[in-house]
Amino acid sequence: MALTTADVARLADLARIELSAEELERFAPELDIVLAAVASVSEVAGSDVTPMSHALALTNVFRDDVVRPSLTPAQALAMAPAVEDDRFRAPRILTEEG
């Protein structure tokens, strides 16, 4: 099943990617190749192959939390360049504009 430019346009729209008509024409056959490659991998992976999300087994390497003596809030804030309401003050980097 070959992808049409309409299929690619729909995928681009879902991904919120703006593509020109020339790009739609170029990407349709390229995406067909990608889909064929994915299908061939699916054929190789039989029911005896365990699905996995990583090539290596993952284990939890975190240590247990242990309460230890540490800085007081005043000590932690003593060398801060700016403090506000007993917290580090940092410049705003995100805005509400979308």
Q: Which residues of 42-70 are buried (b: 16+ CB within 10 A; e: fewer)?
A: eeeeeeeeeeeeeeeeeeeeeeeeeeeee
pLDDT per position as a tens digit, 5-45: 999 999 999 999 999 999 999 999 999 999 999 888 777 76
DSSP 5-44: HHHHHHHHHHTT----HHHHHHHHHHHHHHHHHHHHHHHH
- Is there a contact between 66 and 57 (Cβ–Cβ < 8 Å)? no
**In the predicted model, is pLDDT for residue 1 greater than 70?**
no
